[in-house]
Amino acid sequence: MRQPPLFGLLTDFGLRDGYVGVMKAVALTIAPGAQLVDISHEVAPQDVEGGAWTLGIAWRAFPVGSVLLCVVDPGVGSARRAVALEVAGRCFVGPDNGLFTYPLEGESEVGAERCVTLDNPRYHLPSPSATFHGRDIFAPCAAHLASGVALEALGSLVDVATLARLPIALRPAWRGDALVGRVAHVDHFGNLITTIGPRETRLALAHPLARISLGAWTIGARATHFAAGPQDEPFFLQDSSGALAIALRDGAAAARMDARRGDEVTLYGLDGASPSASDVGERGG
């Protein structure tokens, strides 16, 4: 028996109202036996950027053949496109509003991708509402993919280059010898995960004079893992996605430093690290 593909779900629906359960019931009616895996339903309401980040750290953990249903969709019912997209062997289904920025960013690395707009009503629920495409369009289309329908059957081909992407501002930039990035995410533990990528992070960890500045804070302490950080003082380390992160041992760096997503983070003191050699924006899976 063919093992059904993994079927990941990412939304901003929260877990209280039953909307996620409805979407799952619809999906499992179409694709019985699909193996559902929640990525998150606690993306902040209508926070496309937050959803994109979360998808960005998660999608590579899903094997080739997986289907990822992603609905953070403030534009539901508007002219924004509903799409299904294949990147690196995974199928992504959701609104074309930038939610798929990270898989798309990796495209040159991961190979060919295809995209369709979900304009074939045969794969929607009958009489879709204008307010819950998660239930009426996205979940059914994703479930049809999971049960073997071809991507192209779901609708008309779309040029991948036309898909919405979030501002490239997310990538850090060199200002002289300093690399200026941002806090990309504040996680559940209060860790500040930045847009500074694996290569610069490794350089910073190796360079005794490297410093991170964020607001009024300057951080020189660093560690290989959380428990090795100093007591009661923020430090930096390489997080599990490869990015530079700021943490506080047995506490929440975000609260201590009064920091939030979008805050500017500067890495300096890396003499000899040249912008041209940079892999800025690289991101592990």
User: Considering the rule CB under 8 A, would residue 240 count as an interface residue with a copy of itself?
Assistant: yes
Coil vs helix vs strand at 223: coil
CB 132 within 8 A of CB 76: yes
Site track 173-212 with a copy of itself (rule: CB under 8 A), x = hit? ------------x-xxxx----------------------
User: Considering the rule CB under 8 A, would residue 26 count as an interface residue with a copy of itself?
Assistant: yes
Please count the other Cβ atoms lying within 10 Å of the Cβ belonging to residue 6.
18
Which of 239, 259, 265, 270 forms a contact with a copy of itself (CB under 8 A)?
Answer: 239
CB 124 within 8 A of CB 140: yes
Tell me how far, at minimum, the Cβ of 86 lies from a copy of itself, in Å.
17
Q: Name which of 80 and 199 has its Cβ closer to a copy of itself.
A: 80
Give the pairing of strands 244-247 and 192-194: antiparallel
Which residues between 265 and 284 bind a copy of itself (CB under 8 A)? none
CB 253 within 8 A of CB 234: yes
> Per CB under 8 A, which region of 60-68, 101-109, 153-161, 175-183 contacts a copy of itself?
60-68
Coil vs helix vs strand at 104: helix
User: Considering the rule CB under 8 A, would residue 262 count as an interface residue with a copy of itself?
Assistant: no
Distance separating alpha carbons of residues 267 and 277, to the nearest angstrom: 16
User: Considering the rule CB under 8 A, would residue 135 count as an interface residue with a copy of itself?
Assistant: yes
User: Considering the rule CB under 8 A, would residue 252 count as an interface residue with a copy of itself?
Assistant: yes
User: Considering the rule CB under 8 A, would residue 66 count as an interface residue with a copy of itself?
Assistant: yes
User: Considering the rule CB under 8 A, would residue 47 count as an interface residue with a copy of itself?
Assistant: no
Which of 111, 112, 129, 277 forms a contact with a copy of itself (CB under 8 A)?
Answer: 129
Nearest alpha-carbon partner for 185 in 51, 282, 41, 11: 51
> Per CB under 8 A, which region of 41-49, 142-150, 173-181, 254-262 contacts a copy of itself?
41-49
CA dihedral 204, 210, 216, 217 (to 10 degrees): 70
User: Considering the rule CB under 8 A, would residue 58 count as an interface residue with a copy of itself?
Assistant: yes
Q: Which two tokens stand for residue 151?
A: 């991507």
Distance separating alpha carbons of residues 285 and 278, to the nearest angstrom: 19
Q: Which two tokens stand for residue 206?
A: 């190796």
CB 183 within 8 A of CB 194: yes
Distance separating alpha carbons of residues 19 and 143, to the nearest angstrom: 16
User: Considering the rule CB under 8 A, would residue 8 count as an interface residue with a copy of itself?
Assistant: yes
User: Considering the rule CB under 8 A, would residue 42 count as an interface residue with a copy of itself?
Assistant: yes
User: Considering the rule CB under 8 A, would residue 237 count as an interface residue with a copy of itself?
Assistant: yes
Tell me how far, at minimum, the Cβ of 49 lies from a copy of itself, in Å.
14
Tell me how far, at minimum, the Cβ of 1 lies from a copy of itself, in Å.
8
The structure tokens 């179409």 sit at: 30
Please count the other Cβ atoms lying within 10 Å of the Cβ belonging to residue 176.
8
The residues binding a copy of itself (CB under 8 A) are 1, 3, 6, 8, 10, 13-22, 24-26, 28-29, 32-33, 35-43, 45-46, 54-55, 57-58, 61-63, 66, 74-78, 80, 129-132, 135-136, 185, 187-190, 224-228, 237-240, 250, 252
